Amino acid sequence: MTEDFLDQVHWNADGLVPVITQDHVSKRILTQAWLNREALRTAVKEKRAVYWSRSRGALWRKGEQSGNVQELVEVYLDCDNDSVCYLVRQIGGIACHTGRESCFYQKLVDGHWRPVDPVLRDPDQMYGGSPSN
């Protein structure tokens, strides 16, 4: 497979681009993360969501620890070529390290952030006491 698609992405000064991940059926936003060239190349090759962890300075294959793998269905690039969208099949129904369906579970209500999604699985069960994405 040609990798010309990587050259069309406008990577920032750190060699990264933001990626929004959505459920391929409901289109609910599950996560926002970062990609570098290697992460995007690997995701396409492995047909699963792979990100760049800025805190660890390493590739992050979603579900490595939790088992909540994101199977890659489609990949989109925005009109400015500086943001990517993954459409995924979320295995296990949990995308967030807090045990919720989505990382976007807090809603602004009367000037306060309120959790609106339930915890589906205790993070300690997924990560053995040390939450990690």
Domains located in the chain, CATH noted: 4-117 (3.10.20.810)
How many contiguous H segments (helices) and E segments (strands) does the chain have? 3, 8
What are residue 58's phi and psi, to 5 degrees? Answer: -150, 165
Each of the 133 residues of the chain gets a pLDDT tens digit; together they read 678 999 999 999 999 999 999 999 999 999 999 999 999 999 999 999 999 999 999 999 998 888 889 999 999 999 999 999 999 999 989 999 999 999 999 999 999 999 999 899 888 888 775 444 4
Show the tokens assigned to 12: 């920032």
CA distances from 44 to 1, 6, 79, 123 (A): 10, 11, 20, 28
